[in-house]
Structure 1
């Protein structure tokens, strides 16, 4: 009976967050238009993106608010909920500051790299420290189905994972519906994982995020009415990192977040290749731009990346079951 009620809670949290996001989107997007909070487009980006200039950004506040409201309705506020929300909102605030500077000064770059990384490292340390206190320093190794205690290496490892995840999500946010589609599947994965381990706070949080992202996708799919901006991408990266740590599954992130990892690697490979040889491996990085410049329509890239994520998530379930 208890599992059945928890399942209902998870389903209702997903639905309620979805509905709240739809309502908020219809209210907030027109206001973003009035405030002229439009996106600036990189001059060196694909030419097909120039028409997107002026599309409202900072839309991540829509699903962030829906998640918070849904959590207030359905969840008990324990240390787990407090931590995952603190980290999500903290990273969201860094992204918000970045977006605001871009909009205010009408430029494609906001906070500089040092400022963003400082904030990210501080939040990553906070999450690592409390995760260590709450659940210990061991992590689950997928497929092997055994735990390894990282001991003194836990906090450095976790900080690396968190900062890497947040920035990988942000790099992926370059096509309409790409990050919102990939992320709702990743969140659904963690909703089910946290449900099976019986952590009510975490599965309500993950379910609320899943519903909010599905609702946001209605406005963010091609052609997008609104972009999530760094506000949304950073918040998603923080939330995914927090869920991975609280379930002792940070090692599974390269699998469930395979698109995030590939996108980040494409940028690293491109930079290293150009510095060492003066040549570029890809027509443009991150990888989604390479496919665009190879003749793929934006929607084809997005749908293929969604499909790859879905396959990876099935593999991830197998690895931990």
Structure 2
């Protein structure tokens, strides 16, 4: 627990104190946000606001994780390192996308195919490695079984066959693409994605601590959890939560800095990695329900326009629709935070209810 608390505290301070220094650094180089002309007119005042702030979040998480291990004199786990690899890899892709936008002063950075290819490459490496590196009890960081609150009986890897491993890699990449793009689409208003991500990371701190206390490796029982490195994953989640908290101080309306794709892709990747390694792959759909709604709103908008030629929303993603019907930006953010909190509470309720029902 000392490591979890230490990771949260260090990442919070690193993001809180490091962000204003990074803002000055970006400001001196003129690295400002490009604003779409077809978006809400109220956003035009944000043109030039420093972006790529996700680099602070990513740096704070990495520093906090390794400092916490130095503090507790414990080695990093393979599960924690793989989640951080996924987060860092996607963050670098997002950084490249942001840099192209800024340097060329346009709303398009990497082409969609290039971005998806980069995400897929990082995702494939993560998925393949996650099925390797067994510990003394032959548990790997990830499981080939599809999970909800714990592993189900649906085995994607077919006892290690090449076709089965490929199916798991595809499943993992679907999750990674879904969460990273979900956070990316939600990151359109000051503090919206940062605040929602803080809540989901907080949920994974609780889930990881609970699965550590009831783990089959240390506390075997009928309903014990097969998660390999629960406490270390709690440290990763705590570092993510603290970093988002610290960054939110500067990212809340009126934002002094935006996280950019650097932050949104990194945060989405971290959430996908935590879901896969904590055996809560389908539960993350509930925990990250706000991000799911944002993705569905874009899918509905595009699908409706292609099929009928009509739009179901004034503008997608969903938060822009409410802006265009007259809601103030801060009102949208706060109400969406409430929705995000309700989804997190529902997800934690489902997680705990499964334990209660299973042990009663």
The TM-score normalised by the length of structure 2 is: 0.84
Distance apart, 1:48 and its partner CA: 0.6
Distance apart, 1:214 and its partner CA: 0.3
Distance apart, 1:146 and its partner CA: 6.2
Structure 1's consecutive aligned runs of 4 or more residues displaced over 6 angstroms after TM superposition are none
Question: Retained in 2: the 8 A contact 1:131–1:245?
Answer: no
Task: Please say if 1:136 is aligned against 2:150.
Answer: no
Counterpart Cα distance in 2 of 1:72 and 1:140? 29
Which of these residues, 181, 184, 195, is aligned with residue 181 of structure 1?
195
What is the SS of the residue equivalent to 2:282? helix
Counterpart Cα distance in 2 of 1:146 and 1:169? 25
Which 10-residue stretch deviates more, 34-43 or 9-18?
9-18
Higher helix share: 1
2:172 aligns to what?
A: 158
The total of aligned residue pairs comes to 313
Unaligned 5+ segments in structure 1 are 1-5
Unaligned 5+ segments in structure 2 are 70-74, 133-139, 157-163, 213-229, 353-360
Question: Retained in 1: the 8 A contact 2:87–2:269?
Answer: yes
2:109 aligns to what?
A: 110
What is the SS of the residue equivalent to 2:121? helix
Counterpart Cα distance in 2 of 1:125 and 1:197? 26
1:32 aligns to what?
A: 26
Counterpart Cα distance in 2 of 1:108 and 1:182? 24
Task: Please say if 1:304 is aligned against 2:335.
Answer: yes
Q: Deviations over 1:126-164 (max 9, x none)?
A: 22222333232123334xx66233322432222111111
Q: Deviations over 1:228-258 (max 9, x none)?
A: 0000001001100000000111101221111
Q: Deviations over 1:78-104 (max 9, x none)?
A: 211221111111000000000000011
2:296 aligns to what?
A: 265
What is the SS of the residue equivalent to 1:232? helix
- Alpha-carbon RMSD across the aligned residues, in angstroms, is 1.3
Q: Deviations over 1:171-199 (max 9, x none)?
A: 11100000000001000111111112222
1:50 aligns to what?
A: 44
Which 10-residue stretch deviates more, 126-135 or 93-102?
126-135
Task: Please say if 1:318 is aligned against 2:333.
Answer: no
Counterpart Cα distance in 1 of 2:174 and 2:275? 13
Counterpart Cα distance in 1 of 2:191 and 2:334? 9
Task: Please say if 1:147 is aligned against 2:161.
Answer: no
Task: Please say if 1:16 is aligned against 2:23.
Answer: no
What is the SS of the residue equivalent to 1:147? strand
Counterpart Cα distance in 2 of 1:159 and 1:63? 23
Counterpart Cα distance in 1 of 2:112 and 2:151? 37
Task: Please say if 1:69 is aligned against 2:63.
Answer: yes
What is the SS of the residue equivalent to 1:251? coil
Distance apart, 1:20 and its partner CA: 1.2
1:257-296 aligned at under 5 Å gives the runs 257-296=288-327
Counterpart Cα distance in 1 of 2:38 and 2:153? 45
Structure 1 or 2, whichever has the larger Rg, is 2
What is the SS of the residue equivalent to 2:93? helix
Counterpart Cα distance in 2 of 1:248 and 1:160? 16
Distance apart, 1:317 and its partner CA: 1.2
2:90 aligns to what?
A: 91
What is the SS of the residue equivalent to 1:250? coil
